[in-house]
Amino acid sequence: MTDGPLIVQSDKTLLLEVDHPQADQCRHEIAPFAELERAPEHVHTYRLTPLGLWNARAAGHDAEGVVDILLRYSRYPVPHALLVDVADTMDRYGRLQLRKDPAHGLVLHSTDRAVLEEVLRSKKIIPLVGERLDEDSVVVHASERGHVKQVLLRLGWPAEDLAGYIDGEAHPIALREDGWAVRDYQRHAAENFWHGGSGVVVLPCGAGKTIVGAAAMAMAQATTLILVTNTVAARQWREELLKRTTLTEDEIGEYSGSSKQIRPVTIATYQIMTTRRKGVYAHLELFDARDWGLVIYDEVHLLPAPIFRFTADIQARRRVGLTATLVREDGREGDVFSLIGPKRYDAPWKDIEAQGYIAPADCVEVRVTLDERERLAYATAEPEDRYRLAASTDRKTRVVEALLRQHPEEHVLIIGQYLDQLHELAERLDVPVITGETPVKERQRLFADFRSGDVRVLVVSKVANFSVDLPEASVAIQISGSFGSRQEEAQRLGRVLRPKADGRTARFYAIVSRDTVDADFAAHRQRFLAEQGYAYRIVDADDVLAGDTL
């Protein structure tokens, strides 16, 4: 027995003692293969899952290394059965391989004949494959490359895709490096993706995922389709590519609700791609509009279902997904793994912070108590109405006002879920508000005023969760959210993580109503950030209202 910070249990949970001197180091080492489930004050609970272990395997970690980490940090003897299960699970990845055969095209090959026999008996696999070539190989219909990978993952035998990629239509793209340089981790992320040919790069908000995309484009030297969350994000990608690469304005097209340009580099919004007319996704034809050499999925954790379906049909194209967190609240991480590709690079947030590329952050949960009238209304409300009641209490508005008094010179974002709450708050504070209803030009004007300092406080809805570059923001106040969304919490903290010129710490306040589902959702929302090493301080709203400095 050692005095390690980790307790490894036979049910595949890992208990990490947060206050242990080795806790941060241990968290860093288990992060590539273990997922955080709960993060209360003293002991965090992680879980080993097949997908987590397969992602680690695809990223180059082997079972021996994972077992070594568990043995090294565990306080008690690690259950032998668990170690065997880890090795067996990781060994499942790659026993089936998709390859290109000169004579027969796409082939599913197995290094373990019994595994191939097992999967070929699945009713879902049979329609996707053709003739049996020999005891170890079977032809796969070329159009079913993605669907085969999806089904095999669900059967517990994830295939390693070694079938290669087409180069697509060539187009010269180079990085400019006048006055700036690609950071080491950005270069490593792009190289890891390029070596694998498809996959996901995970970097903190503010760490420069767009530069990774640009570096991948320079490697591909080909026409590129970039899919983004909204028109504001499309314009930011365009501006960044014009600044960082040799691309000209005529070479970059925007494909959105307001513009339908198809150029060698085309930036399209998820919204336009998933617009249906008479039940048909008319704009999905954009995937076939050119012989794309590269497809970039920005904020891949938000990828809509129709894009998954079409991505299954373009598996011969190189694909890279960019995100701050692979967490999907709809549980479709497996589809990201099989259709976009496995995780190729994942930089812990605290590592990037230590290098000075994102600001240190102080996370504070401010707990308010509903008054008697609100408590009674909450107690008698239908379950589906309770979160709105708890999240919209007027006591939160008073806390926001007090926090603004504590940060009189800072650029502050006030972020929430409910539009009526946001409009009322903006009117009371006499500050601008941006929601999904705000025209794109007005959004861009307000964001520009915020960057310049003409506007110091902005109230924003979830439209500002992602792909909005506001480096001046140093304080974020969250008054409500998309229920228990972990990825949203990460995105919102990310709004204030751009490094500050004076090196000061960013502040992230989550105002939460105690003894309600608001508190339950907050605990769930904080899980991903806890996994990254961010600890929330809990303070009482009365102390904030009394003027106590946080």
pLDDT at 467 over 60: no
For range 518-529, the mean pLDDT: 83
Locus of tokens 């996370």: 363
CA distance 471 to 492: 13
- Give the model confidence (pLDDT) of 501-520 as tens digits: 777 888 989 999 999 988 88
Mean pLDDT of all residues belonging to the chain: 89
What average pLDDT does this structure show over 243-259? 92
Q: 524: pLDDT confidence band, cut at 50, 70 and 90?
A: confident
Q: Is the pLDDT of residue 231 over 90?
A: no
Beta strands in 40-197 (DSSP E): 43-48, 96-101, 105-110, 129-134, 137-140, 160-161
3-class state of residue 138 by DSSP: strand
The secondary structure of residue 207, as a DSSP letter, is: S
Contact 148, 125 (CB under 8 A): yes
Q: What is the mean pLDDT of residues 2-9?
A: 91
pLDDT 10s digits, 164-215: 999 999 999 999 988 889 999 999 999 999 999 999 999 888 889 999 999 9
**Looking at residue 502, what DSSP letter applies?**
T
Token pair listed for 389: 């009641």
Give pLDDT, residue 465: 64
CATH homologous superfamily, domain 184-352: P-loop containing nucleotide triphosphate hydrolases (3.40.50.300)
Give 381-401 pLDDT, tens digit per residue: 998 899 899 888 999 999 999
Instruction: Please state the rounded mean pLDDT for residues 325-343.
Output: 86
pLDDT single digits (tens) 291-318: 999 999 998 888 888 888 889 888 999 9
pLDDT at 468: 65
- Residue ranges covered by each domain of the chain: 6-92, 96-161, 184-352, 359-545
459/457 Cα distance (integer angstroms): 7
Terminal CA-to-CA distance of the chain, rounded, Å?
Answer: 41
Distance CA 349, CA 360 (A): 10
Alpha-carbon distance of 234 to 255, in angstroms, equals: 9
Condensed to tens digits (0 to 9), the pLDDT of residues 398-447 reads 999 999 999 998 899 999 988 999 999 999 999 999 988 888 889 889 98
Task: Answer whether residue 344 shows pLDDT above 80.
Answer: yes
pTM beyond 0.95: the answer is: no
For domain 359-545, the CATH class is alpha beta
Q: Which pLDDT belongs to residue 99? A: 95
Question: Given the DSSP bridges, would you call strands 506-513 and 361-368 parallel, antiparallel or unpaired?
Answer: parallel
Tell me how far apart the alpha carbons of residues 185 and 343 are, in angstroms, rounded to a whole number: 15
pLDDT, average across residues 160-166: 94
For residue 365, which of 530, 508, 203 has the smallest C-alpha distance? 508
- Phi–psi pair at 66, nearest 5 degrees: -65, -45
pLDDT above 90 as % of the chain:
58
Q: Which residues contact 478 (CB under 8 A, 6 or more apart)?
A: 415, 416, 489, 492, 508, 509, 510, 511
> ∠ CA 491-497-502 to the nearest 5 degrees?
165
Strand ranges, E, within 172-280? 198-202, 224-228, 252-255, 265-269
**Rounded mean pLDDT, 331-358:** 88
Same fold, 184-352 and 359-545: yes
pLDDT of the residue at 550: 65
Mean pLDDT, to the nearest integer, of 441-458? 89
Min mean pLDDT across 90-99, 431-440, 487-496, 538-547 is at: 487-496
pLDDT digits (tens, 9 = 90+) for 67-90: 999 999 999 999 999 999 999 999
Question: Are 36 and 526 contacting, i.e. CB atoms less than 8 angstroms apart?
Answer: no
Query: Does 337 score more than 80 pLDDT?
Result: yes
Predicted local confidence at residue 313, as pLDDT: 86
Summarised one tens digit per residue, pLDDT across range 481-491 is 876 677 777 77
